[in-house]
């Protein structure tokens, strides 16, 4: 079975030891190249089950999950209902969990989520919908949970259970410490889980501390379980769950004992599995240049040797003898790989004029290039590639920056209030500003901002960005604020990408006709703004690729705000001196609203400038450990071919 391209609707489980490509894995899993294909496949399995039950005049009892992972599955089920006549009349659903306390009407309730994404759009009988109730009085809660389990039992148990997985290894809200036999109950949420929920609640303080969750015992009784994990963020917990020992510290590992469970992963979520990360330890490999580079970086890290010091024995001892057979000797591979990594380094990200460019990452010509740096939020440009940005400008290229979104929701109320009050101090008769101040002061907790307040917040970010781009030295006319409409919801949940967004991006590319495009390739969160912004660029490139000028356009993907390219993925590495590191720091500091306790910190407690410096320094150290030059910092890019 080709694990990355499988699209069958007939996902069948085979017993442990017979299904895997590796002895390391204890749970059946399928890896899809992207989450959309995987979701369609899961939706088909659910639809098939519903139809099979219909044909037998039976009810179909589904256990359902919320969160970002199943959204596309619900979308596909709704599509099947509308376009293919899939009926849900025989379906009874039990949701896994609900925050506690939580009002049904709140946009944060799982009740709201399920109706918004699924129930409002299908023909399910409302009496067949069961979602733990977040307003049940405390003294009735215990009995309520017992009754929830009993009701599932009365229906003959769950035919199918859909799960996501939290970074703590929770399924449902069964946090670490949960007993394998636990029933539905109330639970205290782990801090990590609350951190992950913080963005949609606009701050961790607004996230409930408790929830009601189906128990592990309840889930495990389901006849069929599919667990979804998309994105880089899930890669390490997926590995721990599939390859680790069963432990209450990672409740999802209990699924190893379930006889009919499949994990549905995308490429990013599978990255830490031994079979994917170090396939040479698992079985025969086809040694492409990319796999060989990956293996050599790993071997250097493991043996603590630089490339040129690796011996035949090192290769043989660590599952890489077939590479030796293919390439001859360690000496030959080492030289070849050393040169490959060496050639990624350049101080001339726009190409070195009048130089032989046959082994450089960028072309020498044209000497002066037109460049667009796409930045999803107003600050990703300097955080992720401030050093390279600075060099491109210094080396005389025509550099444009395009801020794709306004970034308005990331400005805190107190920051906005400060600016509003300054405006008020200057002009006390400004009634418009009075109303903005009033709206900020009267805002409650996690409610979304009024349009005027959002506008002010967006303008704050605009001015910060212009301060930074002026510092780097590009004229204001080269700074483009695209304000893509998909972002403008006032909440963390965004609208789907539309043709309007794509056209805005296409028009800019068409007007500038760039030789280089830089874009954020941060895919840590498959539903996040960075991914949508990247999709907008990819779609625009697709639309424009038949224009002659596009033959001359190279696309470079940067990372940095959330994670970094692996060393073997890097096609261009741009060094920075200690002074350039300080200049980059200064450029980031202009984005003051994103300093000192930002609203969307993510799961990394470091400030953005610290993350950027540490990541760039780490890349430099890794290069140095391979035996390459010792730089203070390196910014890394991967070329994207379209
Ligand atoms: C949701 C649930 C949770 C989520 C998990 C992953 O009903 O029970 O276990 O499935 O937290 O959430 P996402 O999909 O948002 O990463």
Question: For position 493, what pLDDT does the model report?
Answer: 77
pLDDT at 233 over 90: no
d(CA 509, CA 373): 11
pLDDT at 580 over 90: yes
Q: Tell me if 172 CB under 6 Å of ligand 1.
A: yes
CA of 552 to the centre of ligand 1 (A): 44
What phi and psi values does residue 171 have, to the nearest 5 degrees?
Answer: -125, 140
* Sheet with 633-640, edge to edge strand ranges: 479-481, 398-403, 370-375, 516-520, 554-558, 633-640, 572-576
Q: Tell me if 528 CB under 6 Å of ligand 1.
A: no
Model confidence at 185, pLDDT cuts 50, 70, 90, reads very high
d(CA 497, CA 535): 8
By C-alpha distance, which of 167, 163, 222 is closest to 196? 167
Instruction: Determine which residue's CA is closest to atom 11 belonging to ligand 1.
Output: 166
d(CA 312, CA 408): 56
Tokens coding 104: 């049904």
What phi and psi values does residue 571 have, to the nearest 5 degrees?
Answer: -105, -25
Q: Kindly write down the DSSP assignment for every residue of 325-365, as one continuous string.
A: HHHS-HHHHHHHHHHHHHTTB-S-TT--TTS--TTSSS---
Least trusted range by pLDDT, from 276-285, 490-499, 548-557, 598-607: 598-607
CA of 114 to the centre of ligand 1 (A): 13
Find tokens 């001859």 and name the residue: 328
Q: Tell me if 266 CB under 6 Å of ligand 1.
A: no
d(CA 295, CA 566): 12
d(CA 380, CA 333): 37
Question: For position 105, what pLDDT does the model report?
Answer: 94
* 450: number of Cβ within 10 Å: 17
Q: Tell me if 73 CB under 6 Å of ligand 1.
A: no
d(CA 449, CA 446): 9
Return the ligand 1 atom nearest residue 64 CA: 7
> Candidates 164, 168, 226, 269: which one to mutate for ligand 1, based on the most atoms within 8 Å of Cβ?
164
Decide if 268 is catalytic: no
Tokens coding 178: 């949960």
Question: For position 23, what pLDDT does the model report?
Answer: 78
Q: Residues of the chain with pLDDT > 70: what percent? A: 94
> Candidates 35, 42, 63, 65: which one to mutate for ligand 1, based on the most atoms within 8 Å of Cβ?
65
CA of 314 to the centre of ligand 1 (A): 42
Return the ligand 1 atom nearest residue 230 CA: 16
Q: Tell me if 170 CB under 6 Å of ligand 1.
A: yes
Model confidence at 524, pLDDT cuts 50, 70, 90, reads low
Average pLDDT over residues 115-129: 98
Tokens coding 218: 């309840």
Average pLDDT over residues 328-333: 95
Average pLDDT over residues 232-247: 95
Q: Tell me if 164 CB under 6 Å of ligand 1.
A: yes
What phi and psi values does residue 364 have, to the nearest 5 degrees?
Answer: -75, -35
What is the pTM (predicted TM-score) of this model?
A: 0.85
d(CA 173, CA 188): 9
CA of 346 to the centre of ligand 1 (A): 43
Local structure of 413: helix, strand or coil: helix
Q: Residues of the chain with pLDDT > 90: what percent? A: 84
Which residue among 45, 175, 362, 564 is the active-site one? 175
d(CA 300, CA 320): 13
Instruction: Determine which residue's CA is closest to atom 10 belonging to ligand 1.
Output: 164
Average pLDDT over residues 420-428: 93
Question: For position 332, what pLDDT does the model report?
Answer: 95
By C-alpha distance, which of 121, 47, 129 is closest to 86? 47
236 Cα distance to chain centroid? 13
The more confidently predicted of residues 428 and 51 is 51
CA 637-278-233 angle, 5° bins: 60
Instruction: Determine which residue's CA is closest to atom 4 belonging to ligand 1.
Output: 164
CA of 111 to the centre of ligand 1 (A): 14
Work out the end-to-end distance of the chain between its first and last CA atoms, rounded to an integer number of angstroms: 28
pLDDT at 336 over 90: yes
Average pLDDT over residues 114-123: 97
d(CA 536, CA 502): 5
Q: Tell me if 388 CB under 6 Å of ligand 1.
A: no
Average pLDDT over residues 440-459: 86
Q: Tell me if 408 CB under 6 Å of ligand 1.
A: no
Average pLDDT over residues 433-447: 85
Q: Tell me if 65 CB under 6 Å of ligand 1.
A: yes
Q: Tell me if 233 CB under 6 Å of ligand 1.
A: no
Return the ligand 1 atom nearest residue 193 CA: 11
Average pLDDT over residues 210-217: 98
Average pLDDT over residues 44-68: 97
- Model confidence pLDDT, tens digit, residues 131-153: 999 999 999 999 999 999 999 99
pLDDT at 7 over 60: no
d(CA 506, CA 233): 30
Cα 501 to Cα 75, 189, 435: the distances in Å are 21, 37, 31
The more confidently predicted of residues 72 and 608 is 72
pLDDT at 5 over 80: no
Q: Tell me if 379 CB under 6 Å of ligand 1.
A: no
Average pLDDT over residues 448-459: 92
pLDDT at 234 over 70: yes
d(CA 149, CA 158): 10
By C-alpha distance, which of 230, 166, 226 is closest to 35? 230
- Across the chain, mean pLDDT equals 93
pLDDT at 120 over 80: yes
- Model confidence pLDDT, tens digit, residues 8-52: 344 444 444 454 556 789 999 999 998 999 999 999 999 999 999
Model confidence at 335, pLDDT cuts 50, 70, 90, reads very high
CA of 33 to the centre of ligand 1 (A): 21
Question: For position 203, what pLDDT does the model report?
Answer: 82
Contacts of 139 (CB under 8 A, 6+ apart): none
Cα 449 to Cα 463, 495, 633: the distances in Å are 20, 16, 39
Return the ligand 1 atom nearest residue 110 CA: 7
Q: Tell me if 199 CB under 6 Å of ligand 1.
A: no
d(CA 542, CA 521): 17
Return the ligand 1 atom nearest residue 171 CA: 9
Return the ligand 1 atom nearest residue 65 CA: 7
Least trusted range by pLDDT, from 106-120, 151-165, 419-433, 463-477: 419-433
CA of 83 to the centre of ligand 1 (A): 28
- Indicate the pairing of strand 225-229 with strand 261-266: parallel
159 Cα distance to chain centroid? 31
- Model confidence pLDDT, tens digit, residues 352-402: 999 999 999 999 999 999 999 999 999 999 999 999 999 999 999 999 999
Kindly provide the b/e burial profile for residues 485-517, where b requires at least 16 CB atoms within 10 angstroms of the residue's own CB: ebbbebebebeebeeebbebbbebbeebebbbb
Q: Tell me if 215 CB under 6 Å of ligand 1.
A: no
């Amino acid at each position: 079975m080709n694990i990355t391209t499988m699209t069958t609707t007939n996902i069948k489980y085979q017993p442990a030891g017979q299904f895997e490509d590796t002895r390391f894995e204890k749970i059946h899993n399928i890896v899809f190249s992207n989450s959309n294909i995987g979701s369609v496949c899961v939706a088909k399995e659910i639809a098939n089950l519903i139809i099979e039950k219909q044909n037998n005049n039976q009810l179909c009892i589904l256990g359902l999950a919320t969160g970002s992972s199943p959204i596309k599955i619900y979308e596909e089920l709704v599509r099947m209902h509308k376009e293919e006549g899939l009926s849900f009349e025989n379906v009874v659903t039990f949701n896994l969990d609900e925050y506690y306390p939580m009002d049904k009407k709140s946009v944060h309730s799982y009740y709201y989520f399920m109706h918004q994404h699924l129930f409002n759009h299908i023909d399910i009988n409302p009496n067949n919908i069961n979602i733990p109730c977040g307003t049940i009085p405390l003294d009735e809660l215990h009995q309520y949970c017992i009754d929830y389990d009993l009701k599932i039992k009365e229906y003959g148990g769950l035919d199918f259970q859909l799960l996501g997985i939290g970074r703590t290894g929770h399924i449902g809200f069964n946090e670490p410490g949960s007993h394998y036999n636990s029933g539905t109950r109330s639970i205290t949420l782990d801090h990590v889980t609350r951190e992950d929920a913080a963005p949609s609640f606009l701050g961790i303080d607004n996230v409930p501390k408790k929830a009601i969750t189906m128990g592990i015992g309840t889930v495990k009784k389901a006849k069929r379980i599919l667990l979804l994990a998309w994105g880089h963020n899930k890669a390490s917990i997926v590995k721990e769950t599939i390859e680790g020992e069963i432990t209450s510290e990672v409740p999802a590992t209990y699924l190893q004992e379930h006889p009919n469970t499949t994990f549905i992963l995308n490429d990013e979520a599978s990255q830490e599995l031994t079979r994917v990360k170090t396939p040479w330890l698992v079985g025969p490999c086809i040694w492409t240049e990319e796999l060989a580079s990956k293996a050599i970086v790993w071997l250097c890290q493991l043996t603590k040797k630089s490339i040129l010091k690796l011996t035949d024995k090192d290769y043989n001892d660590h599952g890489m003898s077939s590479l030796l057979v293919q390439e001859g000797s360690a000496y030959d591979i080492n030289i070849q790989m050393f040169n490959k990594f060496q050639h990624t380094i350049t101080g001339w990200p726009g190409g070195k004029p009048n130089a032989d460019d046959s082994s450089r990452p960028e072309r020498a010509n044209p000497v002066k290039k037109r460049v667009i740096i796409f930045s999803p939020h107003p600050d990703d440009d300097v955080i992720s590639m401030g050093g390279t940005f600075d060099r491109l400008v210094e080396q005389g290229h025509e550099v444009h920056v395009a801020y794709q979104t306004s970034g308005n929701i990331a400005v805190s109320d107190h920051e906005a209030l400060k600016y509003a009050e300054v405006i008020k101090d200057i002009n006390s008769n400004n009634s418009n500003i009075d109303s903005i101040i009033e709206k900020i002061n009267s805002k409650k907790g996690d409610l979304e901002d009024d349009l005027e307040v959002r506008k002010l917040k967006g303008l704050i970010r605009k001015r910060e960005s212009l301060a930074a781009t002026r510092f780097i030295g590009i004229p204001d006319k080269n700074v483009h604020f695209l304000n893509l409409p998909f972002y403008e919801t006032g909440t963390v949940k965004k609208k789907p990408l539309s043709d309007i967004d794509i056209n805005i991006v296409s028009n800019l590319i068409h007007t500038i006709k760039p030789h280089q495009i830089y874009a954020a390739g941060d895919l840590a969160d498959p539903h996040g703004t960075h991914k949508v912004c990247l999709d907008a660029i990819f779609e625009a490139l697709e639309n424009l690729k038949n224009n002659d000028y596009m033959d001359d356009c190279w696309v470079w993907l940067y990372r940095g705000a959330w994670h970094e390219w692996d060393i073997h993925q890097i096609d261009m590495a741009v060094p920075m001196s200690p002074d350039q590191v300080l200049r980059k720091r200064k450029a980031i500091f202009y984005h003051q609203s994103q300093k000192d306790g930002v609203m969307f910190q993510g799961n990394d407690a470091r400030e953005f400038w610290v993350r950027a410096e540490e990541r760039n320094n780490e890349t430099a150290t890794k290069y140095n450990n391979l035996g390459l030059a010792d730089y203070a910092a390196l910014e890394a890019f991967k070329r994207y071919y379209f």
